[in-house]
Amino acid sequence: MLWDWYTIDSCILARSWHNTTPGMFAGSCVGIVLFTMTLDLLRRTAKEYDRYLVRKHASAAMAASTAPPKDGSDESTMESPTSTHQGALQINRFRPTMCEQTIRALFHMVQFAVAYFIMLLAMYYNGYVIMSIFVSAYIGAFIFRWEPLGEGCGVTSTSKEPTVCCG
């Protein structure tokens, strides 16, 4: 494979993706931009789903900790430091249900597949295709990673990504 700038009579990934006109190639580049942007969309969606699960678990844990005891005694007003600490731990850490973890794993699998297809597109070694990937990585990050910084101990979303070097 050699670096090229061909637009007409080029095949991308398969013979069925055959560009016979400059317009078809331009459409392919636009499609590559949109496809690559879906990777950031998927990452953001997975992150928002995890945040949803944490909020859901935190509200359930808070509701359980403020509920009066079932034996009728009024121990809810006299919480010990140990029970308060255990309640905080339950809010901070929890294991998702089987259904929730299935959805989380599905997000991961789809992200993985999209990232591999983007890698295959880059291995086509066409300058326009690679520029389309770079442009869409910028646009996708601009749109889908625009979030507040400084959550927790100043950790940003970029440092949390395991594949930060790979798009």
- Domain regions of the chain by residue span: 11-67+81-166
Say what the pLDDT of residue 164 is: 47
- The rounded distance, in Å, linking the Cα atoms of 31 and 26 is 9
Structure tokens, 56: 């859901």
Please report where in the chains the tokens 């013979």 appear, as a residue: 15
> For residue 46, what are the contacts with CB-CB under 8 A and spacing of at least 6?
104, 107, 108, 111
Question: Which parts of the chain have pLDDT scores under 70?
Answer: 67-92, 151-167
Query: What pLDDT, in 10s, does the model give residues 36-85?
Result: 999 999 999 999 999 999 999 988 888 877 766 666 555 544 445 555 55
For 2, the 3-state DSSP assignment is coil
Say what the pLDDT of residue 74 is: 53
